[in-house]
Structure 1
Amino acid sequence: MSIADNTFSMSTMFDALQHVRLSKGISGSIPPPGFIPRASAVSNTRLNPLFNLMTNGEGVAQFKEMISKLDRRQLHMMVSLLTLDADYFMEVVRNKNGSRRVQKLLGISDDVDALFYAAILRRFLHIMTDKYASYVATRAMVVFEREKKKAMYEHILHYALDIACEKHGCIALNEVITDVDDPYYRNQLLDVVAHNALFLSNDASGNFVVQHVLKLYDLRCTHNVAVSLRGHCVDLSFKQYGSYIVEKLVEAEETMAVVVVELLECGGDRLMRLGRNEFGSFVVAKALSVTQEMSRVDLFSALVHKLMPFLHLLRRSHGSNIANILESTIQGS
C-alpha cells in the first residue's frame, strides 16, 4: 500500500498512540547538557503505524502532499506522537527516510517546532553524531526562530569537541559553522575550534573541522589556529590529515611564516626525513613555492640552503618535487 493510500487520519494516530509505549517519568522539559538518556523504552517500533509511515520507502513528495491535507490539530497530534518519547523519536530520525520526513515537518508552525525543539535537545549529542539524525538538527538550526537557535548554539558550544571527534558529527559541525547566521555564535564556534586545534588536528575526525575553518579564510580564526599549532607543525606534517592543515597555514600570508620558521628551526636530518615523507614532502614543497611566490627571499633562500645538502636523497624519494624546485634554483643562478 502506497503512502498516498495510507492517509494519516485521526484513527491512524490513535492506533499509533496505542502502539507507542511511553515510559514513566517522560516530560517535555529540556535536560541540561551532559544528560545521559536511559535505554530505549520503545518496543516493536517496526510494527508501529506511525513509525512505518515515517520510515517506509515511499517518496518524500507524496509525504509532503499527505501532511498538507492535515489540519493544525491533526498535525500537532502527529508531531506530539513523534516527539513525546526520546527513544522513539531517535529511532525515527536515525532512519534515512524518517530523517527526511521530519525535516519536511520542520518550520511549518511555531507550536510544531516547539515539540521538535524539545525532542532534539533531549538527545542532542546522539542526534548530532548520527549519520541521518544530524540532518534534522542542522535543518532545525536554519528554520527555527532566534531564541530556539540560540539554545541550540549553546548546546553546540558545549558539545563541540565531542561532536567534532565523531565520524558523522564532524560533518554536521562543519555544516553548522558554515550556516550559523549569528556573528557572536559564529565567532564562539571558530574560537572553540582554533583554541583546540592541536587536539582536533590529531584526531581522525576532528582534523576535518580544523581543515574546514581554515577554508573559511577568517583571518582571526586562521591566526588563532596557527598560534595553537605553533611548535607542532613539523609533527603534524608527517601525518596525512595533519599535513593538509599545515599546508593551509602555509598558503595563508598571515600564517605562512609560522610554519616556515618552524621548518628552519628543526634539525637538518629531521627536515630531510620530512621532505622524503609521503605527506611531509607536500608541506616542504608548498613552503618553497609559496615563499618564492610571495617574494619572501629570506625564507625561501634559507629553506633552499638547508635542503640543498640532501638533494640526492630527495631525488630518490617522495621528495622528488622538492628536488625539482631546488634544481631550478641552481639552473637559475
Structure 2
Amino acid sequence: MLNLDFTHKTTQATPRLHAVATEFLRVSNDVAELHKLSSKLTSDPYLFVEFVKTIRGFLSVQTALGLSGEIDTVFLQVIKGWFPDLITETFSFLIVVRIINLFNKRANSKVYPDILRRIGNNALYLTRNPLRGICLVEKAINVRDPDCTVFIALKLHSHYVELSFEELGSNIVEKLLSVGESGICGV
C-alpha cells in the first residue's frame, strides 16, 4: 500500500479532493476498484484537474497509471479533453508525460499521434510556459513525426524571431530548423 500521509494537507482544505484522495489510498492495490474510482474521478473533469494539481492527487494517479489499459484509457480521455489546463501545472504535466510514454510503449498507433496533434495545436500556448510547455514541444519535435513537426512549425512560424530571443524558445527554433534541413519534413 502506498503511504501518502505526508500529502494529507494538500487535499485537506477541499473536502471533495480529500475524499477522493482517501478513497485512492483505500483501494490502491485493487485494479478493479481503481478502475471504478478512476472512472468516478474523471466523470467530473473539474475535480480531476484540481486533484492532479496536488501532490497527493498526482501520486495517486501516477500509481494507478500503467496498472491496466482500461485505467490508462479512462485517464487519457480526460487528459485529451482538458489538455491545455493540465499541461501547464507541475504535477498534472508529469501525468500527461507519463501517459504519453505509456501509450508510446504500447505502440498504440491511434493515441500517440492524437496527443502529438494536441501538442502541435497548442504549441504557441505551450511555448509561453518556459519550463513545462517548451519541454513538451521539444519532446514532440524529437519524436520526428513529420505531421506533428509540420503542425508545430506552422503554429509557430510567425513567432520564430520572438522565440529565438528566449533562452529555451531558441532551442525549439533550432530543432525545427535542423529537422527542416535534414529533410524529414518541409519545415
TM-score of the aligned structures, taking structure 1 as reference length: 0.43
From 79, 83, 86, give the equivalent of 1:127. 86
Q: Does the 8 Å contact 1:138/1:175 carry over to 2?
A: no
Q: 2 CA distance for matches of 1:189 and 1:45?
A: 39
2:16 maps to 45
For 2:99 and 2:62, the matched residues in 1 are separated by 8
Q: How far apart, in 2, do the equivalents of 1:218 and 1:5 lie?
A: 44
Give the alignment partner of residue 201 of structure 1, picking from 143, 164, 171: 164
Distance 1:197 1:122, change over 3 A: same
By relative contact order (CA 8 Å, sep 6+), the higher-ranking structure is: 2
TM-align CA RMSD:
3.4
Report the Cα distance in structure 2 between the residues aligned to 1:94 and 1:146, rounded to whole angstroms.
Answer: 29
In the alignment, the residues of structure 2 paired with residue 80 and residue 187 of structure 1 have an alpha-carbon distance, to the nearest angstrom, of 33
Does the Cα contact within 8 Å between 1:127 and 1:134 map onto a contact in 2?
yes
Pair 1:71–1:141, CA change in 2 (3 A):
closer
Query: Deviation per CA, 1:224-244, whole angstroms, max 9, x where unpaired?
Result: xxxx9xxxxxxxxxxxxxxxx
What SS does structure 2 have at the residue aligned with 1:211? helix
More helix by share: 2
Q: Give the AA of the match of 2:20.
A: L
> What count of residue pairs does the alignment treat as equivalent?
169
Instruction: Tell me the CA shift for residue 213 of structure 1.
Output: 5.5
In the aligned structure 2, how far is the partner of 1:53 from the partner of 1:161? 38
* Structure-2 residue corresponding to 1:106: 65
* In the alignment, structure 1 residue 157 sits paired with structure 2 residue 81: no
Q: Residues 79-228 of structure 1 correspond to what in structure 2 (within 5 A)?
A: 79-144=38-103, 145-167=108-130, 168-178=132-142, 180=143, 183-188=145-150, 191-192=153-154, 195=157, 196-202=159-165, 207-212=167-172, 214=174, 218=178, 220=180
Q: Percent identity among equivalent residues?
A: 20
Is the contact made by 1:160 and 1:173 (CA closer than 8 Å) also made in structure 2? yes
1:75 shift after superposition: 2.2
> Aligned in 2, Cα 1:198/1:216: closer, same or farther, shift over 3 Å?
closer
1:265-322 per-residue CA deviation (whole Å, 9 max, x = no partner) reads xxxxxxxxxxxxxxxxxxxxxxxxxxxxxxxxxxxxxxxxxxxxxxxxxxxxxxxxxx
Does the 8 Å CA contact 1:214/1:222 hold for their aligned counterparts? no
Report the TM-score, using the length of structure 2 for normalisation: 0.71
CA distance in 1, matches of 2:71, 2:62: 12
In 1, Cα distance between the equivalents of 2:63 and 2:173? 29
**1:96: how far off?**
2.6
1:4–1:199: structure 2 CA closer, same or farther, 3 Å change rule? closer
Deviation at 1:201, TM superposition (A): 2.7
- How far does the alpha carbon of each residue in 1:32-75 deviate from its partner, in whole angstroms, 9 at most, with x for none? xxxxxxxxxxx6334x3223465xxxxxxxx7xx63x3143x12
The answer to whether the 8 A contact 2:38-2:74 is kept is yes
- Structure 1 segments (4+ residues) deviating >4 Å: 2-6
Please tell me whether the aligned partners of residues 62 and 95 of structure 2 are also in contact (alpha carbons under 8 angstroms): yes
User: Is this contact kept in 2: 1:86–1:119, CA < 8 A?
Assistant: yes
Q: CA deviation at 1:190?
A: 5.6
- Cα contact 2:65–2:72 (8 A) shared by 1: yes
Decide whether the 8 Å contact of 1:93 with 1:102 is kept in 2.
yes
Could you tell me how far apart the structure 1 residues matched to 2:50 and 2:42 are?
Answer: 11
Residue 101 to residue 210, structure 1, CA distance change in 2 (3 Å): farther
Kindly provide the amino acid, as one letter, of the partner of residue 100 in structure 1.
L
How big is each residue's C-alpha offset from its partner over 1:71-90, in whole Å with a ceiling of 9 and x where there is no partner? Answer: 43x12101112211111111
